[in-house]
């Protein structure tokens, strides 16, 4: 039984991005009566406030239109039924026109034709197996009720309850899911404060709050009426909610001021209606009550502009919802940089005091997940029905081939799945807005949201399915997202790389140059290790010749030109430039070699991206302690200054260190890399301290002495492995995964990219505590002075990010590992699942969702720094140039990168394929091949042959998109559904 449970846990974790919607999850589409019905004065319908405003103010809308006819749904019920059946939806969310049922708004005059129309609609849905989800009020108030004060008049509470009572009597035996109001923020603030919506009142800072007060009481009394009089009568299964518009507000900067401004904006727009109903305490959010009262006093009002509830009313409203209806379209960045001289006073905008702007890319869905987590935490995880979510474009830009809308739905539904499975949010259903193009309020017919196109120039209003209708139907029928699903006659929708995005490829000096003792080059730690103990390398080989790149600059630059790359990332050999490691002697031949390479690249329009240190420390410096010695800080800075002086006039993109975790932990703690030291839990931390200080001082000197034109940029490259909980439902595994991220990744990022600097606080605390338990008189983790913390903080213009794989992690117990050790300090035991496709390198697995998650984690942890992906690739055995598995790896990882850009809002500017050539792969010698070009290591001349992947990568660069069907001339197509086994030589 235990094995079965573990297997199930692994199956869930290993397919984290292949989540399927739960079997009881429901899909629907939505509309609203005024937006689609038409027949504005047919069948006894009365006038509503939108009829009145648009008939008396011809150009209130963007196109001077009205909804007298709209989509003609009042007459085209069968057509609408057919669309719903074709989509395969579980439910249809629509609203009832109050003035079609009660032409004058009051219960004394019921319109039989209106009542019959909705009976026919509801019965037709039920006959087709489609559940009706009914909204009682979607903005179209009967005109006569408006004339007696509208929603600013508390007397409307009883009128609404009477109207709801009639609906329960007529339809309650057939409708079991109700929402009282749709988006009260919009119709209150825009209708009664700013005048953007009907009834177009402009009582800024007053009217909206009065409206909201009435609406909340009307909602609560309607809910109580249903519970007391109708729920048991109709079998006890009915549920009532309210639909609130939500938009996550993210601080522009991680400051207390911006956080406060963002929270205020969220509370005024969302908490205004959510807090009185869903919080434990009830009432309006405290920030609303206190802020409006204070500002009202400043403005010489005798009482707060926000009405107050009695305790009896607070108790009446609290808990009056069986689910939360959530409409979500976009997210916002907010700051405290607010100028109230440019706004009306009083007004809600002034009350909030925040400067908010919408995200630039509509497919960025991260805000939905944040809001859902907020709702779970703040309101005790209520049931949530997504009642609207959709993508609108200008009518001139909309088409049947609506890829933007398709990508939007894919993005938001993907985020929704993560919220359900990883955050435990209780989302029960999703509603796409909208079934068809319709009348979009003040935008008239200039804005299109529909899954179906409606031709508004044709009196018959014909409907035609768009691509998005087929895609949404496929999601419903398969219960999962297939980003490459393409309806018949369409190609799959794919993201394209931004115009400014750059592509490159990479190598490092020891891995490709060879010429290990030629032209004055000194010995480095890899030369020393492989010569004194060749058996430590799997194939007993070394980098003495490697790819012979020292002699093949012209040939390699020509290959780079053929690839079409924007930049070439390579590293400098410290011991080729300073043979003894010290700056007292500079090797002219080494300088000439790199000058030749840099000039050749620039002549071909290829930008050099130069890494100062990629693991090959001069051996004389290792003999004085290597990276565990703080002496190396100044020696590295001396070396860097030589580099800046010799190459800085042409090189403007720098990386100080490549993968300090591997340098330090694997080299000085775990005996996995040169110099093969085993000081676990000690040596790696001493090294980390030295490397970080060397980086920071190098950055400071570069900026102050060598970057006067400010064209240069410098970063550090850190290797990141996404740590995913083995069991996503286990808090212990979640904590262990986060702890591992901080210990492996955050230890190098947090000092540089965080707001507060220093090592991650949780890691400092854990190592300090464990060191004391182990009898050390001091912490094994070195301490930075405040001056050093300040020097490190912000010492990078971008983050270089190497990524190859993902881990599954669980909480580590004391008896599972040795102490002291970095693993125990991390608090996690991690491994790679056998269920994932493996490369020739056992540490490389095909898990693209982990790549995306880690990019998103970086964004959230470190305020979205610029990220340059400096390595990413796949290894194989042998010399087969038809490298389909590598091609698949690049395809799926670049797809994940595009999703991180467009859906998560990550600031990723460059991508680097590892590697340009097959090369010496450190402890595995020449067995494992990462190259886009094959090298015949049995031939002294080391000839290069372009692999299939090089042509595919060139096609991606040239077209700026991923084409899984692209096959280069001379190669057979890849079958990505077949994964052949690789046998280790």
Would you please indicate which residues are annotated as catalytic (active-site) residues? 871
**What is the number of other CB atoms lying within 10 angstroms of the CB of residue 42?**
15
Helices 467-478 and 77-87 pack at an angle, to 10 degrees, of 50
Q: How far apart are CA 271 and CA 262, in angstroms?
A: 12
Q: How far apart are CA 244 and CA 506, in angstroms?
A: 50
Q: How far apart are CA 449 and CA 626, in angstroms?
A: 62
Q: Contact, 654 vs 702, CB < 8 A?
A: yes
Q: How far apart are CA 748 and CA 980, in angstroms?
A: 38
Element (H, E) at 570: strand 567-571
* Contacts of residue 819, Cβ cutoff 8 Å, sequence gap at least 6: 681, 770, 774
Which one, of 717, 718, 726, lies nearest residue 745 by Cα? Answer: 718
* Three-state secondary structure of 832-867: CCCCCCECCCCCCECCHHHHHHHHHHHHHHCCCCCE
Which one, of 234, 248, 223, 233, lies nearest residue 317 by Cα? Answer: 223
* Three-state secondary structure of 198-255: CCCCCCCCCHHHHHHHHHHHHHHHHHHHHHHHCCCCCCCCCEEEEEEEECCEEECCCC
Q: In this structure, what token pair is assigned to residue 798?
A: 């971008």
Q: Contact, 690 vs 627, CB < 8 A?
A: yes
**What is the number of other CB atoms lying within 10 angstroms of the CB of residue 354?**
25
Q: Contact, 388 vs 435, CB < 8 A?
A: no
**Which residues lie across from 831 on neighbouring strands?**
808
Q: In this structure, what token pair is assigned to residue 519?
A: 């032209």
Query: CA dihedral in degrees (625, 766, 830, 908; nearest 10)?
Result: -80
Q: How far apart are CA 319 and CA 277, in angstroms?
A: 5
Convert 762-799 to b/e letters by CB count within 10 Å (16 or more is b). Answer: bbbebbbebbeeeeeeebbbbebeeebbebbbebbbbb
Q: How far apart are CA 189 and CA 194, in angstroms?
A: 6
Q: How far apart are CA 556 and CA 417, in angstroms?
A: 45
Q: Contact, 181 vs 242, CB < 8 A?
A: yes
Q: How far apart are CA 166 and CA 438, in angstroms?
A: 28
Q: Which residue has the tokens 């003040």?
A: 442
Q: Contact, 950 vs 563, CB < 8 A?
A: yes
Q: In this structure, what token pair is assigned to residue 928?
A: 């494992």
How far is C-alpha 550 from the chain's CA centre?
42
How far is C-alpha 463 from the chain's CA centre?
34
Q: Contact, 390 vs 328, CB < 8 A?
A: no
């Amino acid at each position: 039984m235990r094995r079965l449970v573990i297997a199930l846990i692994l199956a869930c974790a290993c397919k984290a991005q292949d989540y399927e919607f739960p079997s009881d999850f429901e899909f629907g589409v939505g509309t609203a009566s005024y937006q689609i019905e038409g027949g504005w004065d047919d069948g006894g319908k009365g006038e509503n406030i939108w009829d009145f405003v648009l008939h008396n103010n011809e150009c209130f809308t963007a196109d001077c239109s009205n909804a007298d006819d709209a989509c003609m749904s009042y007459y085209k019920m069968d057509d609408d039924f057919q669309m719903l059946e074709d989509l395969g939806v579980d439910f249809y969310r629509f609203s009832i026109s109050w003035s079609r049922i009660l032409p004058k708004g009051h219960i004394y005059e019921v319109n039989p034709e209106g009542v019959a129309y909705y009976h026919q609609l509801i019965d037709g849905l039920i006959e087709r197996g489609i559940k009706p989800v009914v909204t009682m009020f979607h903005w179209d108030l009967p005109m006569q009720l408006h004339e007696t004060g509208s929603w600013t008049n508390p007397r409307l509470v009883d009128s609404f309850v009477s109207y709801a009572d009639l609906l329960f009597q007529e339809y309650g035996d057939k409708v079991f899911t109700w929402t009282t109001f749709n988006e009260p923020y919009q119709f209150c603030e825009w209708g009664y404060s700013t005048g953007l919506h009907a009834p177009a009142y402009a009582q800024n800072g007053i009217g909206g709050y009065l409206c909201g007060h009435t609406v909340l009481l009307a909602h609560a009394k309607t809910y109580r009426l249903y519970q007391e009089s109708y729920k048991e009568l109709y079998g006890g299964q009915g549920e009532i909610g309210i639909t609130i518009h939500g938009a996550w507000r993210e601080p522009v900067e991680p400051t207390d001021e911006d956080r406060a401004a963002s929270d205020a904006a969220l509370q005024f727009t969302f908490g205004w209606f959510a807090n009185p109903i869903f919080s434990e305490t009830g009432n309006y959010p405290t920030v609303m009550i206190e802020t409006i009262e204070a500002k009202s006093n400043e403005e010489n009002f005798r009482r707060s502009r926000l009405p107050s509830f009695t305790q009896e009313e607070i108790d009446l409203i609290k808990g009056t919802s069986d689910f939360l209806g959530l409409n979500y379209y976009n997210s916002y960045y907010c700051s405290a940089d607010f100028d109230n001289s440019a706004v009306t006073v009083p007004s809600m905008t002034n009350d909030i005091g925040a400067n908010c702007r919408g995200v630039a890319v509509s497919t960025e869905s991260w805000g939905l997940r944040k809001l859902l987590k907020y709702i779970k935490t703040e309101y005790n995880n209520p049931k949530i029905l997504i009642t609207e979510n959709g993508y609108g474009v200008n009518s001139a830009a909309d088409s049947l081939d609506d890829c933007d809308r398709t990508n939007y739905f894919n993005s938001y539904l993907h985020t929704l799945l993560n919220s359900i499975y990883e955050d435990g949010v209780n989302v029960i259903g999703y509603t796409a807005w909208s079934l068809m193009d319709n009348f979009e309020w003040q935008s008239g017919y200039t804005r299109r949201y529909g899954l179906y196109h409606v031709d508004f120039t044709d009196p018959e209003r014909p409907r035609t399915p768009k691509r998005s209708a087929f895609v949404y139907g496929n999601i419903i029928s398969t219960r999962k997202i297939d980003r490459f699903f393409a309806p018949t006659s369409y190609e799959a929708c794919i993201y394209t790389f931004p115009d400014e995005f750059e592509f490159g490829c990479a190598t490092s000096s020891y891995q490709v140059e060879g010429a290990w003792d030629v032209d004055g080059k000194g010995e480095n730690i890899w030369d020393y290790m492989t010569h004194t103990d060749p058996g430590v390398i799997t194939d007993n080989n070394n980098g003495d010749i490697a790819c012979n790149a020292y002699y093949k600059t012209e040939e390699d630059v020509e290959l780079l030109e053929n690839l079409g790359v924007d930049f070439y990332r390579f590293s400098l050999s410290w011991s080729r430039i300073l043979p003894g490691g010290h700056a007292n002697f500079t090797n002219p031949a080494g300088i000439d070699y790199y000058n030749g390479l840099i000039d050749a690249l620039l002549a071909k329009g290829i930008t050099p991206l130069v890494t100062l240190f990629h693991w090959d420390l001069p051996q004389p410096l290792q003999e004085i302690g290597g990276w565990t010695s703080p002496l190396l800080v100044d020696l590295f800075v001396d070396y860097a200054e030589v580099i800046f002086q010799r190459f800085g006039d042409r090189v403007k993109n720098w990386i100080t260190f490549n993968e300090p975790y591997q340098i330090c932990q694997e080299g000085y703690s775990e005996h996995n890399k040169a110099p093969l030291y085993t000081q676990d839990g000690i040596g790696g931390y001493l090294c980390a301290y030295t490397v970080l200080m060397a980086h920071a001082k190098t950055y400071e000197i570069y900026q102050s002495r060598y970057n006067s034109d400010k064209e240069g940029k410098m970063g550090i490259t850190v290797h990141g492995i996404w740590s995913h909980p083995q069991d996503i439902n286990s808090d212990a595994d979640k904590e262990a995964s986060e702890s591992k991220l901080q210990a492996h990744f955050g230890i190098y990022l947090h000092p540089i990219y965080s707001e507060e600097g220093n090592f991650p606080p949780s890691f400092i605390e854990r190592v300090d505590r464990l060191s004391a338990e182990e009898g050390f008189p001091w912490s094994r983790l070195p301490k930075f002075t405040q001056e050093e913390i300040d020097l490190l903080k912000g010492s990078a213009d971008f983050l270089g990010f190497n990524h190859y794989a993902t881990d599954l992690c669980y909480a580590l117990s004391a008896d599972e590992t040795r102490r002291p050790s970095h693993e125990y300090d991390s608090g996690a035991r991690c491994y790679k699942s056998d269920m994932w496709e493996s490369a020739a390198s056992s540490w490389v697995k095909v898990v693209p969702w982990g790549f995306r998650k880690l990019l998103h984690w970086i964004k959230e942890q470190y305020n979205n720094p610029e990220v340059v992906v400096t390595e990413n690739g796949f290894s194989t055995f042998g010399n087969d140039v038809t490298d389909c598995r590598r091609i698949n790896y690049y395809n799926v990882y670049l797809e994940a990168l595009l999703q991180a850009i467009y859906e998560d809002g990550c600031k990723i500017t460059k991508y680097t394929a590892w590697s340009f050539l097959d090369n010496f792969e450190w402890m595995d010698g020449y067995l494992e091949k990462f190259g886009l070009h094959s090298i015949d290591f049995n031939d002294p001349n080391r000839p290069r042959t372009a692999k299939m992947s090089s042509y595919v990568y060139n096609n991606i660069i040239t077209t700026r998109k991923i084409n899984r069907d692209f096959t280069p001339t001379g190669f057979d197509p890849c079958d990505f559904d077949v994964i052949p086994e690789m046998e280790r030589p």
